[in-house]
Structure 1
Amino acid sequence: MKTIFLILFSLQFSAQASAGNSISAVTGEDFPPFTTSAKEGGGKAVKLIRDTFQTLEMNLKLDWLPWKRAEKKTANGEYDFIFPYVRNAQREKLFHYSRPLYEIKNFLYVPKKKSHMQIDKFLVEHKKICIPVGYNTQELEPYISKYSLDLVRPSKIEPCFVLLNKERVDGMLTNNYLASYYIQKLSIKNIRHLEKVFSRKTLHALFPRKKESSKALLIKFNRALKKVTDLAY
């Protein structure tokens, strides 16, 4: 009986230790090449996050959810962090931001025949801009009010490329990585970006302010991330 008790106690202790060393994270599927489906390997940001937690010798439990639901659950403390996201004022109130995972350039993508135009000139004449639900629109806000833009909001990014290629929308705002991925995937010939960079952004992991453990985890994460990225470059 004593032996059985010791075995059960040991198993319980091991399970508690393992749980205490396990981190839960969530991301979405439609932000390639940074995040893709689990079946496709997850994407380059997923690999970076996994490498970071391997450095920390911590177990990572990763879920894939629609972006808005994932963000809400993380803000409520149901996950330890979410990734990858750009900064905006609304999220600053809810999350601590990690050091940058990646730097990206956002461009306004348009039909090829109009790619010579300047941003303001284009938006004076072309109002229908595609940007998915859950994607950051903060940088578009001044243009929305100034030029009365009409935003088309599909649930995912891929329909924006399809609509733009068929000229059913006038333009779309996205980053160079994402555009290159879908232009190749969909064999698109009719889309180019305007020459001027619309904005430069950094992508981050977000840790919920609601969780008391977030600050300590963020410090560990940033240190490990620096080690991983320093080795990579």
Structure 2
Amino acid sequence: MELHDDTRVRAAWANTDPLLRGYYDTEWGMPVRDETGVFERLTLEAFQAGLSWLTILRRREAFREAFAGFEVNRVADFDDTRVEALMADTGIIRNRRKIEAAVTNARAAQQLRASGAGLAEFVWSFQPERSPAPETDAEVPSTAPEAAELARALKRHGFSFVGPTMAYALMTAIGIVDVHLVTSHRRGCSGLWLADGSRAPAAGTAGSQR
């Protein structure tokens, strides 16, 4: 845990660069439920493997341009010529396995639609009953049983370059779980979780007040 000079409590990683701080304060852990948004995070988490998240954030706009705004149908149409062009694009991470995985995953996402559940709905179906409630950075888990199940399920549906750690990073990024420190000003920012890790009551239920 670290305190930035504005006295707000953040995870230690978020205090190392203004770009990370902005991402933490405005985006990380907020619910993302649309196909394009989930596919973008899935793709970027795969590219982040072995690198820092700051490296990815600095190239995010270049990634969006290179991968057609992360629209699944457009990325699924990428051919070998487009892959070679991406391998020459200095604005992104030029890793052939990761680039090809993005195309493979876009096609797998299309197939998920045909099976009756889109990518976003499928990923969110692995939301656990409880979320962690870490008091220190050391208590923040790197994976969970639900993440391992999600990774296995994605692989069964043809996705590649996915594993339990990456799946959990995706789940934390899009609000499926809340791993903000319990003392952080962002704890509970998604509106889905309470400070103790239990689910927040849905709007309009007996647990809500006017």
TM-score with structure 1 setting the length: 0.22
State the structure with more CA Rg: 1
Judging by fraction of residues, say which structure has more strand: 1
TM-score with structure 2 setting the length: 0.23
Judging by fraction of residues, say which structure has more helix: 2
